[in-house]
Each structure stands twice: as C-alpha cells, then as structure tokens.
Amino acid sequence: MIVIRSLLFLAGQITSTLVFAPLSLLTFALPYHMRYHFITQWSRFNLWWLKVTCGIHSAVSGREHIPDGNAIILCKHQSAWETLALTRIFPPQVWVIKRELLWIPFFGWGLAMLEPIAIDRKSGRKAVRQLVEQGRQRLQQGRWVVVFPEGTRVAPGHKRRYGIGGGVLAEQSGFPVVPVAHNAGEYWPRRGFLKYPGTVQLIIGPPIDTRGRSPEQITADAEDWIETTVVRISGKKRAPD
C-alpha cells in the first residue's frame, strides 16, 4: 500500500505542476503578494494531497516565536516537505536556492516567478555576496528570506557543515534569525520515492538577536538550537560526524 499511495501522490504532484506552472507565468504582471498567493496554492494542494494519499500529517509548535516583522529563517533541510510547509507557516518569503532548480521544466517556471535568490554554489565568496545583496533587497521589501544552511538535503541522523551565508546576511542587515527544526526526512526521505505515514514535527525556535554579533556567532547559535532540537524529536540516532 505504501508503494500505491506514493504513486498516487506522485501522479497528483506531477499533474498539479503541469497545471500551475503555465498559469503562474500569466501572473507576471500582478503585484508580488497576489502572485505569491496564487503560486503557493500549489504547495497547499500538495500538502493536502500528501495527507490524503500517504497519511503524512504535521504538528507545528513555537508559532508564538514568529516575530511581527520579517526575518531570516535558518531551517533544517531533510526533505522536500519543508519547502512546501514553510510557505503555509510563515508570511511571504523567498528562498536561497541553487540556480539549477530554475532550469527544471514547469517546476522551475513557477519557482522563478517567486523571485528566489538563485546562487551558483560553486562560486564561493561570489555566492555569499549575491546572497547578501539580494537578501537585503528582499528583506527591505518586507519579505522573509529562507536559508537552508547545510546547502542540501541531509538524511535523518546526519548533519553537514553549516554555511555562513545566512549569518553574514543577518549580521549585515540587522534582521533577526528564526531557527526551524523538524523531522520530515523520516516520513519523506531525501531522494526517496516511498513516503511513510506519520506526523512530522516542526518546531520554531526563539528569534536570535543578530545586532552586534559576528556571522560565526549567529550561525553557531542557530546550528546549536536546530541540531539539539532535531535530536530531541527524531526517531533516528545521530550518526558519527
């Protein structure tokens, strides 16, 4: 049944992408908030469809930690699930993504309309400068900025070195950092076709004040809170680093 349910979800995901992507292109002349609201209905549908077909639910805690103003989100990256869920939890946002995602037919079209910060991860300091420059612009426009500091999806029980880009953006912009932890990879594995029923736990941490602090300090505080929280809610034991 898990195979059949996963197939049903995939069919709905592909169909919805083929429908939403061309329609998203038609929204280019609309104000950003209207464009964002329409395009992210794709996320809403797929989260609902995931619940119906695969039995994956979610429990979100820590909403009281979401500040009134916009901020920078540093989020654990285990699955494709959080890329859908964050749009339903936080106000309008842009993501820092690898530019190759924009080259994916249909999916990349819709993603481009949300004006993400698409970087070349191999370009080193140039990518960080781009993140800071475009990130400050987005923040000044009132949008949230989502950064996955590990740079790629990491299987439950493992971690990668946290990149400093989000910390540099926070230090130079003065906006707070909101850390986010979850265990979605236990139900929707990275690069995995099969999806397993259960309830994803997502926890929003207290905002980290970035004023007068170095990028290294900001990143270390976010990493400590995220990784400690992931261990607490995870059913997987941490693999040796």
Read off the CATH number of the domain in which 225 is found.
3.40.1130.10
On whether the pTM is more than 0.85, the answer is yes
Beta-strand (E) ranges in the chain?
56-61, 72-75, 93-98, 117-119, 144-147, 177-182, 198-204
Contact 95, 83 (CB under 8 A): yes
Structural domain contains residue 132: yes
Tally of domains in the chain: 1
Structural domain contains residue 24: no
* Residue 238 pLDDT level (bands cut at 50, 70, 90): very low
Give the structural domain span for 74: 56-233
Q: Which segment of 72-86, 133-147, 163-177, 224-238 scores lowest on mean pLDDT?
A: 224-238
Give pLDDT tens digits for 130-149. Answer: 999 999 999 999 999 999 99
φ, ψ of residue 146 to 5 degrees: the values are -105, 125
Structural domain contains residue 175: yes
CB-side exposure of 48: number of CA atoms within 13 Å? 8
Structural domain contains residue 18: no
CA gyration radius for the chain? 17
Give pLDDT tens digits for 18-40. Answer: 999 999 989 988 999 999 999 99
Structural domain contains residue 45: no
Structural domain contains residue 176: yes
Structural domain contains residue 3: no
